[in-house]
């Protein structure tokens, strides 16, 4: 997964409020957008949005991120970096 691409997709999803609208904008299918978001959630270890058949809403964790005094994408980049470092640390501990 290209993490930066997935983060951009997520930011657009939040801005547009629709998987289909983001898919159309990016020239990909809606399932591809959904897979990118799911992969990003797996990487971060947390759910980012609540999905229903008609709408999406941000989770409490994302609401917390957006209230921090920095840009949303910067916060996500930081969280991804921390997640990667934690995984490396766990692997090193078992080696």
CATH of the domain at 12: 1.10.10.10
Tell me if 35 sits within 8 A of 8, measured CB to CB: no
Residues in the chain: 95
Between residues 70 and 30, the one the model is more confident about:
30
How many domains would you assign to the chain? 1
Alpha helices (H) along 1-95:
3-16, 19-26, 30-44, 60-66, 72-94
pLDDT, residue 65, reads 63
Residues of the domain holding 81: 3-94
Report which of 23, 17, 76, 25 is spatially closest to residue 52, judged by C-alpha positions: 17
Looking at 49-53, 73-77, 80-84, which range is the least confident one? Answer: 73-77
Q: What whole-number percentage of the chain has pLDDT above 90?
A: 26
pLDDT, residue 29, reads 95
CB-count exposure of residue 80 (10 Å: 0-12, 13-18, 19+):
middle
Tens of pLDDT along 59-78? 887 776 665 555 666 667 77
């Amino acid at each position: 997964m290209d993490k930066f691409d997935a983060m951009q997709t997520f930011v657009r999803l939040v801005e547009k409020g629709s998987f289909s609208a983001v898919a159309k904008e990016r020239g990909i299918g809606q399932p591809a957008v959904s897979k990118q978001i799911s992969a990003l959630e797996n990487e971060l270890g947390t759910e980012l949005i609540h999905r229903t058949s008609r709408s999406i809403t941000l989770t409490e964790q994302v609401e917390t991120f957006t209230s921090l005094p920095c840009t949303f994408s910067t916060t996500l980049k930081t969280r991804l970096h921390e997640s990667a470092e934690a995984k490396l640390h766990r692997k090193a501990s078992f080696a």
